[in-house]
Chain A
Amino acid sequence: MTIDLLPFAVSLQLGLWVTVILAVCMFPFAWIFARSTKAWVPWVESLFSLSLVLPPTVLGFYLLLFFSPLSPLGQFLDNTFGLRLVFTFPGLVLASCIAGMPFMITALRNGIMAIPEHVLEASWTLGKGRLETIWHVVLPNMRPAILAGVITTFAHTLGEFGVVLMIGGSLPGISKVVSIAIFERVEAQDFASAHVYAGILLLTSYVGVFLLNRIQRTQRLRDARRDSV
Protein backbone atom coordinates (compact mmCIF):
# COMPACT_ATOMS: atom_id res chain seq x y z
CA MET A 1 0.00 0.00 0.00
CA THR A 2 1.43 3.34 -1.02
CA ILE A 3 -0.16 6.51 0.18
CA ASP A 4 0.87 9.58 -1.75
CA LEU A 5 0.22 12.86 0.03
CA LEU A 6 0.54 15.00 -3.11
CA PRO A 7 -3.17 14.68 -4.04
CA PHE A 8 -4.09 16.13 -0.64
CA ALA A 9 -1.90 19.17 -1.30
CA VAL A 10 -3.49 19.66 -4.74
CA SER A 11 -7.01 19.31 -3.32
CA LEU A 12 -6.29 21.77 -0.52
CA GLN A 13 -4.84 24.36 -2.89
CA LEU A 14 -7.71 23.92 -5.29
CA GLY A 15 -10.28 24.23 -2.51
CA LEU A 16 -8.69 27.39 -1.13
CA TRP A 17 -8.35 29.11 -4.50
CA VAL A 18 -11.89 28.27 -5.56
CA THR A 19 -13.40 29.35 -2.23
CA VAL A 20 -11.55 32.66 -2.07
CA ILE A 21 -12.19 33.52 -5.73
CA LEU A 22 -15.87 32.68 -5.49
CA ALA A 23 -16.39 34.50 -2.17
CA VAL A 24 -14.92 37.69 -3.66
CA CYS A 25 -16.33 37.48 -7.18
CA MET A 26 -19.80 36.27 -6.29
CA PHE A 27 -20.48 38.97 -3.71
CA PRO A 28 -21.43 41.73 -6.19
CA PHE A 29 -23.72 39.30 -8.04
CA ALA A 30 -25.30 38.12 -4.79
CA TRP A 31 -25.84 41.77 -3.83
CA ILE A 32 -27.62 42.51 -7.12
CA PHE A 33 -29.68 39.32 -7.01
CA ALA A 34 -30.76 40.02 -3.45
CA ARG A 35 -31.61 43.70 -3.80
CA SER A 36 -32.28 44.64 -7.38
CA THR A 37 -35.89 44.83 -8.54
CA LYS A 38 -35.00 44.88 -12.24
CA ALA A 39 -36.90 42.48 -14.47
CA TRP A 40 -33.78 40.80 -15.92
CA VAL A 41 -32.47 39.71 -12.54
CA PRO A 42 -34.28 36.33 -12.25
CA TRP A 43 -33.16 35.46 -15.79
CA VAL A 44 -29.52 36.00 -15.02
CA GLU A 45 -29.80 34.52 -11.54
CA SER A 46 -31.15 31.28 -12.98
CA LEU A 47 -28.13 31.03 -15.28
CA PHE A 48 -25.90 30.82 -12.23
CA SER A 49 -27.47 27.59 -10.99
CA LEU A 50 -27.27 25.77 -14.31
CA SER A 51 -24.03 24.02 -13.40
CA LEU A 52 -25.98 22.17 -10.70
CA VAL A 53 -28.23 20.59 -13.28
CA LEU A 54 -25.61 18.94 -15.48
CA PRO A 55 -23.98 15.79 -14.14
CA PRO A 56 -20.38 16.74 -13.27
CA THR A 57 -18.79 14.52 -15.93
CA VAL A 58 -21.06 16.07 -18.55
CA LEU A 59 -20.25 19.57 -17.32
CA GLY A 60 -16.57 18.60 -17.43
CA PHE A 61 -16.95 17.30 -20.95
CA TYR A 62 -18.48 20.57 -22.18
CA LEU A 63 -15.89 22.66 -20.39
CA LEU A 64 -13.25 20.47 -22.04
CA LEU A 65 -14.77 21.13 -25.46
CA PHE A 66 -15.19 24.82 -24.65
CA PHE A 67 -11.61 25.43 -23.43
CA SER A 68 -10.01 22.93 -25.79
CA PRO A 69 -7.12 24.30 -27.88
CA LEU A 70 -9.25 23.29 -30.88
CA SER A 71 -12.16 25.53 -29.86
CA PRO A 72 -12.26 29.23 -30.87
CA LEU A 73 -12.00 30.36 -27.23
CA GLY A 74 -9.17 27.97 -26.44
CA GLN A 75 -7.32 29.02 -29.58
CA PHE A 76 -7.74 32.70 -28.76
CA LEU A 77 -6.47 32.27 -25.18
CA ASP A 78 -3.58 30.13 -26.36
CA ASN A 79 -2.48 32.52 -29.12
CA THR A 80 -3.03 35.79 -27.26
CA PHE A 81 -2.03 35.03 -23.69
CA GLY A 82 -0.33 31.65 -24.01
CA LEU A 83 -2.97 30.43 -21.56
CA ARG A 84 -4.11 26.81 -21.56
CA LEU A 85 -7.16 25.95 -19.52
CA VAL A 86 -7.26 22.22 -20.15
CA PHE A 87 -5.02 19.90 -18.13
CA THR A 88 -3.54 22.79 -16.15
CA PHE A 89 -4.07 23.96 -12.57
CA PRO A 90 -5.54 27.38 -13.51
CA GLY A 91 -7.99 25.60 -15.80
CA LEU A 92 -8.93 23.31 -12.96
CA VAL A 93 -9.54 26.29 -10.68
CA LEU A 94 -11.77 27.94 -13.28
CA ALA A 95 -13.75 24.76 -13.97
CA SER A 96 -14.20 24.14 -10.24
CA CYS A 97 -15.35 27.74 -9.81
CA ILE A 98 -18.03 27.17 -12.43
CA ALA A 99 -19.09 23.95 -10.73
CA GLY A 100 -19.07 25.47 -7.24
CA MET A 101 -20.64 28.82 -8.11
CA PRO A 102 -24.25 27.96 -7.13
CA PHE A 103 -23.24 27.01 -3.59
CA MET A 104 -21.50 30.30 -2.89
CA ILE A 105 -24.01 32.56 -4.58
CA THR A 106 -27.05 31.02 -2.88
CA ALA A 107 -25.49 31.32 0.56
CA LEU A 108 -24.37 34.94 0.02
CA ARG A 109 -27.68 36.02 -1.51
CA ASN A 110 -29.66 34.57 1.38
CA GLY A 111 -27.31 36.27 3.83
CA ILE A 112 -27.77 39.68 2.18
CA MET A 113 -31.55 39.22 2.01
CA ALA A 114 -31.67 38.48 5.73
CA ILE A 115 -30.25 41.89 6.64
CA PRO A 116 -33.15 44.18 7.60
CA GLU A 117 -33.55 47.16 5.28
CA HIS A 118 -33.70 49.60 8.22
CA VAL A 119 -30.20 48.62 9.30
CA LEU A 120 -28.84 49.69 5.92
CA GLU A 121 -30.94 52.85 5.94
CA ALA A 122 -29.65 53.71 9.40
CA SER A 123 -26.09 53.43 8.10
CA TRP A 124 -26.84 55.64 5.10
CA THR A 125 -28.66 58.29 7.14
CA LEU A 126 -25.63 58.42 9.39
CA GLY A 127 -23.68 59.49 6.33
CA LYS A 128 -21.86 56.25 5.54
CA GLY A 129 -21.24 55.51 1.89
CA ARG A 130 -22.19 52.29 0.12
CA LEU A 131 -18.78 50.60 0.40
CA GLU A 132 -18.37 51.61 4.02
CA THR A 133 -21.83 50.24 4.78
CA ILE A 134 -20.99 46.96 3.11
CA TRP A 135 -17.71 46.65 4.95
CA HIS A 136 -18.88 47.68 8.43
CA VAL A 137 -22.56 46.72 8.44
CA VAL A 138 -23.40 44.15 5.77
CA LEU A 139 -20.42 41.80 6.00
CA PRO A 140 -20.36 41.54 9.82
CA ASN A 141 -24.10 40.92 9.85
CA MET A 142 -23.98 38.12 7.30
CA ARG A 143 -21.10 36.23 8.84
CA PRO A 144 -23.09 32.95 9.21
CA ALA A 145 -24.05 33.11 5.52
CA ILE A 146 -20.46 33.73 4.43
CA LEU A 147 -19.37 30.81 6.57
CA ALA A 148 -22.05 28.57 5.09
CA GLY A 149 -20.96 29.58 1.58
CA VAL A 150 -17.31 28.98 2.38
CA ILE A 151 -17.93 25.57 3.95
CA THR A 152 -20.25 24.24 1.25
CA THR A 153 -18.07 25.56 -1.58
CA PHE A 154 -14.87 24.24 -0.07
CA ALA A 155 -16.40 20.86 0.77
CA HIS A 156 -18.00 20.56 -2.65
CA THR A 157 -14.70 21.37 -4.36
CA LEU A 158 -12.86 18.75 -2.29
CA GLY A 159 -15.45 16.14 -3.19
CA GLU A 160 -15.78 17.19 -6.83
CA PHE A 161 -14.79 14.43 -9.16
CA GLY A 162 -16.38 14.41 -12.58
CA VAL A 163 -15.42 17.91 -13.71
CA VAL A 164 -11.89 17.53 -12.43
CA LEU A 165 -11.40 14.13 -14.03
CA MET A 166 -12.54 15.38 -17.40
CA ILE A 167 -10.73 18.70 -17.61
CA GLY A 168 -7.75 17.92 -15.37
CA GLY A 169 -6.67 14.50 -16.55
CA SER A 170 -5.28 13.26 -13.20
CA LEU A 171 -1.79 14.68 -13.66
CA PRO A 172 0.23 14.23 -10.45
CA GLY A 173 0.90 17.53 -8.68
CA ILE A 174 -1.32 19.43 -11.12
CA SER A 175 -4.76 17.91 -11.28
CA LYS A 176 -4.64 14.62 -9.41
CA VAL A 177 -6.85 15.50 -6.46
CA VAL A 178 -7.83 13.22 -3.59
CA SER A 179 -11.18 12.21 -5.07
CA ILE A 180 -9.39 11.02 -8.21
CA ALA A 181 -6.70 9.23 -6.21
CA ILE A 182 -9.49 7.34 -4.40
CA PHE A 183 -11.21 6.52 -7.70
CA GLU A 184 -7.99 5.15 -9.19
CA ARG A 185 -7.32 2.95 -6.17
CA VAL A 186 -10.89 1.62 -6.30
CA GLU A 187 -10.48 0.88 -10.00
CA ALA A 188 -7.29 -1.02 -9.19
CA GLN A 189 -9.29 -3.08 -6.65
CA ASP A 190 -6.85 -1.77 -4.06
CA PHE A 191 -9.53 -0.99 -1.49
CA ALA A 192 -7.11 -0.76 1.42
CA SER A 193 -5.37 2.32 -0.02
CA ALA A 194 -8.73 3.77 -1.09
CA HIS A 195 -9.98 3.46 2.50
CA VAL A 196 -6.91 5.26 3.82
CA TYR A 197 -7.31 8.14 1.32
CA ALA A 198 -11.02 8.42 2.06
CA GLY A 199 -10.40 8.20 5.80
CA ILE A 200 -7.84 11.01 5.77
CA LEU A 201 -10.12 13.13 3.57
CA LEU A 202 -13.15 12.63 5.82
CA LEU A 203 -11.22 13.22 9.02
CA THR A 204 -9.46 16.41 7.88
CA SER A 205 -12.68 17.77 6.38
CA TYR A 206 -14.57 17.02 9.57
CA VAL A 207 -11.96 18.78 11.69
CA GLY A 208 -11.95 21.77 9.33
CA VAL A 209 -15.71 22.17 9.29
CA PHE A 210 -15.86 21.61 13.05
CA LEU A 211 -13.33 24.38 13.69
CA LEU A 212 -15.20 26.83 11.45
CA ASN A 213 -18.47 26.01 13.14
CA ARG A 214 -16.94 26.46 16.56
CA ILE A 215 -15.52 29.87 15.70
CA GLN A 216 -18.95 30.82 14.43
CA ARG A 217 -20.66 29.51 17.55
CA THR A 218 -18.40 31.30 20.04
CA GLN A 219 -18.87 34.50 18.08
CA ARG A 220 -22.63 34.11 18.07
CA LEU A 221 -22.70 33.46 21.78
CA ARG A 222 -20.50 36.50 22.41
CA ASP A 223 -22.76 38.67 20.25
CA ALA A 224 -25.82 37.40 22.10
CA ARG A 225 -24.21 38.22 25.45
CA ARG A 226 -23.27 41.68 24.25
CA ASP A 227 -26.79 42.36 22.94
CA SER A 228 -28.41 41.27 26.16
CA VAL A 229 -26.25 43.62 28.26
Chain B
Amino acid sequence: MATKHRWSCIVLLLSLSSQTYAQNLNFSATNGFDSNKVADSIIVAAAANLASVGDLLKSAFEAKYAKASVTFVYGASGALSAQIQNGAPYQLFLSADLEFPKRIFDAGLAAARPQIYARGMLILFSLKALEFKKGLAVLSDPTIKQFALASPEIAPYGKAGREALVSLGLWDLVKAKIVTAQSISQAIQFTIGATGIGLINKSALYSKNLASFIDKEGLNWYQVDDSLYSPLVQAYVVLKSAASNQTTMAFAGFLSSREGKAIFLQAGYALP
Protein backbone atom coordinates (compact mmCIF):
# COMPACT_ATOMS: atom_id res chain seq x y z
CA MET B 1 0.00 0.00 0.00
CA ALA B 2 2.73 2.38 1.06
CA THR B 3 4.86 1.57 -1.98
CA LYS B 4 1.87 2.01 -4.25
CA HIS B 5 1.29 5.40 -2.73
CA ARG B 6 4.92 6.36 -3.21
CA TRP B 7 4.79 5.32 -6.86
CA SER B 8 1.72 7.35 -7.56
CA CYS B 9 3.42 10.33 -5.95
CA ILE B 10 6.40 9.94 -8.25
CA VAL B 11 4.18 9.59 -11.31
CA LEU B 12 2.24 12.66 -10.27
CA LEU B 13 5.42 14.68 -9.75
CA LEU B 14 6.83 13.54 -13.07
CA SER B 15 3.68 14.39 -14.96
CA LEU B 16 3.52 17.80 -13.25
CA SER B 17 7.11 18.64 -14.08
CA SER B 18 6.75 17.48 -17.67
CA GLN B 19 3.67 19.66 -17.97
CA THR B 20 5.48 22.76 -16.76
CA TYR B 21 8.35 21.85 -19.04
CA ALA B 22 5.96 21.62 -21.97
CA GLN B 23 4.42 24.92 -21.00
CA ASN B 24 7.85 26.53 -20.82
CA LEU B 25 8.67 25.18 -24.23
CA ASN B 26 5.45 26.48 -25.62
CA PHE B 27 6.03 29.81 -23.95
CA SER B 28 9.48 30.26 -25.45
CA ALA B 29 8.21 29.19 -28.85
CA THR B 30 5.52 31.84 -28.98
CA ASN B 31 6.77 34.56 -26.73
CA GLY B 32 10.41 34.26 -25.84
CA PHE B 33 10.83 37.73 -24.42
CA ASP B 34 12.63 38.81 -21.30
CA SER B 35 9.99 40.57 -19.27
CA ASN B 36 12.60 43.04 -18.02
CA LYS B 37 13.30 44.23 -21.54
CA VAL B 38 9.63 44.40 -22.46
CA ALA B 39 9.22 47.59 -20.50
CA ASP B 40 8.51 50.41 -22.93
CA SER B 41 5.40 52.37 -23.76
CA ILE B 42 4.36 51.68 -27.32
CA ILE B 43 1.70 53.21 -29.52
CA VAL B 44 -0.30 50.89 -31.74
CA ALA B 45 -2.25 52.41 -34.61
CA ALA B 46 -5.27 50.22 -35.19
CA ALA B 47 -8.16 50.05 -37.60
CA ALA B 48 -11.36 51.34 -36.06
CA ASN B 49 -13.05 47.93 -36.23
CA LEU B 50 -10.56 46.78 -33.58
CA ALA B 51 -11.71 49.35 -31.04
CA SER B 52 -13.42 46.80 -28.80
CA VAL B 53 -10.80 44.06 -29.08
CA GLY B 54 -7.97 46.56 -28.48
CA ASP B 55 -8.90 46.98 -24.82
CA LEU B 56 -8.76 43.20 -24.33
CA LEU B 57 -5.39 42.84 -26.07
CA LYS B 58 -3.95 45.73 -24.09
CA SER B 59 -4.99 44.44 -20.68
CA ALA B 60 -3.94 40.84 -21.40
CA PHE B 61 -0.53 41.98 -22.66
CA GLU B 62 0.06 44.38 -19.80
CA ALA B 63 -0.92 41.68 -17.31
CA LYS B 64 1.80 39.52 -18.82
CA TYR B 65 4.46 42.22 -18.97
CA ALA B 66 3.84 44.47 -16.00
CA LYS B 67 6.41 47.08 -17.08
CA ALA B 68 5.10 47.49 -20.61
CA SER B 69 2.36 49.86 -21.61
CA VAL B 70 0.37 49.79 -24.85
CA THR B 71 -1.68 52.70 -26.16
CA PHE B 72 -4.14 52.10 -28.97
CA VAL B 73 -4.84 54.89 -31.45
CA TYR B 74 -7.83 54.18 -33.71
CA GLY B 75 -8.64 55.50 -37.15
CA ALA B 76 -9.53 54.51 -40.66
CA SER B 77 -6.77 52.27 -42.03
CA GLY B 78 -6.22 54.66 -44.97
CA ALA B 79 -5.85 57.70 -42.71
CA LEU B 80 -3.49 55.86 -40.35
CA SER B 81 -1.32 54.75 -43.22
CA ALA B 82 -1.16 58.32 -44.57
CA GLN B 83 -0.02 59.40 -41.11
CA ILE B 84 2.62 56.69 -40.97
CA GLN B 85 3.99 57.80 -44.32
CA ASN B 86 4.34 61.29 -42.84
CA GLY B 87 6.20 60.52 -39.66
CA ALA B 88 3.57 59.39 -37.15
CA PRO B 89 5.20 58.09 -33.95
CA TYR B 90 3.55 54.65 -34.05
CA GLN B 91 5.41 51.40 -33.49
CA LEU B 92 2.89 48.97 -34.89
CA PHE B 93 0.07 49.26 -37.41
CA LEU B 94 -2.90 46.89 -37.27
CA SER B 95 -4.80 47.41 -40.48
CA ALA B 96 -8.29 46.26 -41.47
CA ASP B 97 -6.88 44.73 -44.62
CA LEU B 98 -3.65 43.53 -46.19
CA GLU B 99 -3.34 46.27 -48.81
CA PHE B 100 -2.29 49.20 -46.59
CA PRO B 101 0.38 47.24 -44.66
CA LYS B 102 1.73 46.02 -48.00
CA ARG B 103 2.03 49.57 -49.25
CA ILE B 104 3.86 50.60 -46.09
CA PHE B 105 6.22 47.68 -46.51
CA ASP B 106 6.77 48.57 -50.18
CA ALA B 107 7.52 52.16 -49.21
CA GLY B 108 10.36 50.84 -47.03
CA LEU B 109 8.74 51.96 -43.78
CA ALA B 110 8.25 48.52 -42.23
CA ALA B 111 10.70 46.39 -40.27
CA ALA B 112 9.34 43.17 -41.75
CA ARG B 113 6.72 41.83 -44.12
CA PRO B 114 3.05 42.25 -43.14
CA GLN B 115 1.67 39.43 -41.00
CA ILE B 116 -1.97 38.37 -41.02
CA TYR B 117 -3.37 38.32 -37.49
CA ALA B 118 -7.11 37.76 -37.96
CA ARG B 119 -9.85 37.24 -40.45
CA GLY B 120 -13.13 39.15 -40.32
CA MET B 121 -16.48 37.40 -40.62
CA LEU B 122 -19.52 38.84 -42.35
CA ILE B 123 -22.97 38.51 -40.80
CA LEU B 124 -26.46 39.60 -41.72
CA PHE B 125 -27.85 41.32 -38.67
CA SER B 126 -31.43 42.28 -37.91
CA LEU B 127 -32.82 44.10 -34.88
CA LYS B 128 -36.13 42.27 -35.30
CA ALA B 129 -36.12 38.48 -35.18
CA LEU B 130 -36.04 37.16 -38.72
CA GLU B 131 -36.41 33.84 -40.54
CA PHE B 132 -32.87 33.18 -41.75
CA LYS B 133 -33.54 29.76 -43.30
CA LYS B 134 -33.21 31.20 -46.79
CA GLY B 135 -29.90 32.81 -45.90
CA LEU B 136 -29.13 36.09 -47.65
CA ALA B 137 -32.13 35.54 -49.96
CA VAL B 138 -34.21 36.93 -47.12
CA LEU B 139 -33.06 40.36 -48.31
CA SER B 140 -35.15 40.00 -51.48
CA ASP B 141 -38.26 39.61 -49.33
CA PRO B 142 -40.65 42.53 -50.03
CA THR B 143 -41.09 43.20 -46.29
CA ILE B 144 -37.48 44.32 -46.21
CA LYS B 145 -37.40 47.79 -47.70
CA GLN B 146 -33.83 48.81 -46.93
CA PHE B 147 -30.63 47.38 -45.52
CA ALA B 148 -27.23 48.84 -44.70
CA LEU B 149 -24.00 47.92 -46.44
CA ALA B 150 -20.62 49.59 -46.21
CA SER B 151 -19.41 51.02 -49.50
CA PRO B 152 -18.03 48.15 -51.63
CA GLU B 153 -15.59 50.63 -53.18
CA ILE B 154 -13.81 51.69 -50.01
CA ALA B 155 -14.72 49.32 -47.15
CA PRO B 156 -13.55 45.67 -47.10
CA TYR B 157 -16.79 44.44 -45.49
CA GLY B 158 -18.81 46.27 -48.13
CA LYS B 159 -16.79 44.54 -50.84
CA ALA B 160 -17.31 41.17 -49.16
CA GLY B 161 -21.06 41.84 -48.90
CA ARG B 162 -21.31 42.64 -52.57
CA GLU B 163 -19.30 39.55 -53.50
CA ALA B 164 -21.59 37.32 -51.44
CA LEU B 165 -24.74 38.86 -52.93
CA VAL B 166 -23.34 38.63 -56.46
CA SER B 167 -22.30 35.00 -56.08
CA LEU B 168 -25.79 34.10 -54.88
CA GLY B 169 -27.32 35.95 -57.84
CA LEU B 170 -29.09 38.35 -55.46
CA TRP B 171 -27.22 41.57 -56.21
CA ASP B 172 -29.49 42.88 -58.98
CA LEU B 173 -32.59 41.95 -56.98
CA VAL B 174 -31.61 43.81 -53.83
CA LYS B 175 -29.23 46.58 -54.86
CA ALA B 176 -32.00 49.20 -54.90
CA LYS B 177 -32.54 48.55 -51.18
CA ILE B 178 -28.96 49.27 -50.15
CA VAL B 179 -28.20 52.20 -47.88
CA THR B 180 -24.49 52.74 -48.42
CA ALA B 181 -22.31 53.60 -45.43
CA GLN B 182 -18.81 55.07 -45.60
CA SER B 183 -17.28 52.55 -43.21
CA ILE B 184 -18.26 49.36 -41.46
CA SER B 185 -18.91 51.19 -38.21
CA GLN B 186 -21.22 53.59 -40.01
CA ALA B 187 -22.98 50.56 -41.50
CA ILE B 188 -23.56 49.34 -37.94
CA GLN B 189 -24.93 52.74 -36.94
CA PHE B 190 -27.28 52.73 -39.94
CA THR B 191 -28.39 49.21 -39.05
CA ILE B 192 -29.13 50.04 -35.44
CA GLY B 193 -30.50 53.51 -36.04
CA ALA B 194 -32.33 53.41 -39.33
CA THR B 195 -32.63 50.33 -41.50
CA GLY B 196 -32.90 47.72 -38.74
CA ILE B 197 -31.04 45.26 -40.92
CA GLY B 198 -27.60 45.24 -42.46
CA LEU B 199 -24.52 43.31 -43.48
CA ILE B 200 -21.96 43.96 -40.78
CA ASN B 201 -18.90 42.46 -39.12
CA LYS B 202 -19.37 39.62 -36.66
CA SER B 203 -17.01 41.27 -34.19
CA ALA B 204 -19.59 44.05 -33.74
CA LEU B 205 -21.68 41.55 -31.76
CA TYR B 206 -19.01 41.54 -29.10
CA SER B 207 -19.09 45.28 -28.60
CA LYS B 208 -21.01 46.66 -25.63
CA ASN B 209 -23.80 47.96 -27.78
CA LEU B 210 -24.83 44.69 -29.42
CA ALA B 211 -23.66 42.27 -26.74
CA SER B 212 -27.24 41.24 -25.95
CA PHE B 213 -27.53 39.67 -29.41
CA ILE B 214 -24.53 37.32 -29.22
CA ASP B 215 -26.57 34.24 -28.39
CA LYS B 216 -29.35 35.10 -30.86
CA GLU B 217 -27.81 33.38 -33.85
CA GLY B 218 -30.55 32.34 -36.27
CA LEU B 219 -32.92 34.87 -34.72
CA ASN B 220 -31.18 38.22 -35.08
CA TRP B 221 -28.12 37.28 -37.06
CA TYR B 222 -26.85 34.80 -39.50
CA GLN B 223 -23.24 34.14 -40.40
CA VAL B 224 -22.69 34.47 -44.14
CA ASP B 225 -20.92 31.43 -45.60
CA ASP B 226 -17.32 32.61 -45.85
CA SER B 227 -16.77 30.77 -49.13
CA LEU B 228 -19.03 33.38 -50.78
CA TYR B 229 -16.53 36.22 -50.41
CA SER B 230 -12.78 36.64 -50.57
CA PRO B 231 -11.21 36.36 -47.11
CA LEU B 232 -11.30 39.54 -45.02
CA VAL B 233 -7.72 39.20 -43.87
CA GLN B 234 -6.36 41.81 -41.48
CA ALA B 235 -2.61 42.28 -41.32
CA TYR B 236 -0.14 44.19 -39.19
CA VAL B 237 3.32 45.60 -39.80
CA VAL B 238 6.01 46.53 -37.33
CA LEU B 239 7.29 49.93 -38.35
CA LYS B 240 10.94 50.44 -39.09
CA SER B 241 11.58 52.77 -36.17
CA ALA B 242 10.54 49.96 -33.80
CA ALA B 243 12.59 47.19 -35.41
CA SER B 244 14.78 46.70 -32.35
CA ASN B 245 12.16 47.53 -29.74
CA GLN B 246 11.54 44.47 -27.56
CA THR B 247 8.12 45.62 -26.38
CA THR B 248 6.85 46.07 -29.92
CA MET B 249 8.21 42.70 -30.99
CA ALA B 250 6.72 41.04 -27.92
CA PHE B 251 3.33 42.61 -28.64
CA ALA B 252 3.46 41.58 -32.29
CA GLY B 253 4.33 38.05 -31.15
CA PHE B 254 1.52 38.19 -28.61
CA LEU B 255 -1.04 38.79 -31.38
CA SER B 256 -0.33 35.34 -32.84
CA SER B 257 0.32 33.60 -29.53
CA ARG B 258 -2.23 31.16 -28.15
CA GLU B 259 -3.53 33.84 -25.79
CA GLY B 260 -3.76 36.48 -28.50
CA LYS B 261 -5.54 34.11 -30.86
CA ALA B 262 -8.04 33.26 -28.15
CA ILE B 263 -8.81 36.96 -27.71
CA PHE B 264 -9.46 37.43 -31.43
CA LEU B 265 -11.64 34.29 -31.53
CA GLN B 266 -13.56 35.52 -28.53
CA ALA B 267 -14.13 38.87 -30.19
CA GLY B 268 -15.81 37.42 -33.26
CA TYR B 269 -12.85 37.11 -35.61
CA ALA B 270 -11.63 33.97 -37.31
CA LEU B 271 -7.99 32.99 -37.35
CA PRO B 272 -5.91 33.41 -40.51
Chain A interface residues (CB < 8 Å from chain B)? 1, 57, 61, 64-65, 68-70, 74, 84, 86-87, 165-166, 169-172, 176, 184-192
Contacts and interface: CB of A to CB of B under 8 A. Distances in A.
Nearest to B84: A169
Contacts of B189: 186
19 contacts: A68-B86, A69-B86, A70-B87, A87-B88, A166-B82, A169-B89, A170-B74, A184-B51, A186-B185, A187-B48, A187-B49, A187-B185, A188-B51, A188-B52, A189-B51, A189-B188, A189-B207, A190-B207, A190-B208
B266 interface: no
A171 B43 contact: yes
Interface string B70-88: 0101110001001101111
B204 interface: yes
B73 A64 contact: no
A171 B185 CA distance: 21
B209 interface: yes
Interface residues of B, number: 29
A170 B79 CA distance: 12
Interface in B197-219: 204, 207-210
Contacts, number: 80
Given A165-B75, A187-B48, A70 B86 contact: yes
B75 A170 contact: yes
Given A171-B89, A192-B208, A187 B82 contact: no
B159 to A, nearest CB: 19
Nearest 10 pairs of A and B residues by beta carbon: A188-B51, A189-B207, A68-B86, A189-B209, A187-B48, A69-B87, A170-B73, A187-B51, A190-B208, A188-B52
Contacts of A171: 43, 71, 73, 89
Q: Which of A61, A68, A165, A188 has the most CB of B within 10 A?
A: A188
Given A171-B73, A189-B204, 11 more contacts: A64-B83, A65-B86, A166-B79, A166-B82, A169-B83, A171-B43, A184-B74, A185-B51, A187-B51, A188-B52, A190-B52
Interface in B81-110: 82-83, 85-90
A187 B208 CA distance: 11
Contacts of B48: 184, 187
B98 to A, nearest CB: 21
B83 A191 contact: no
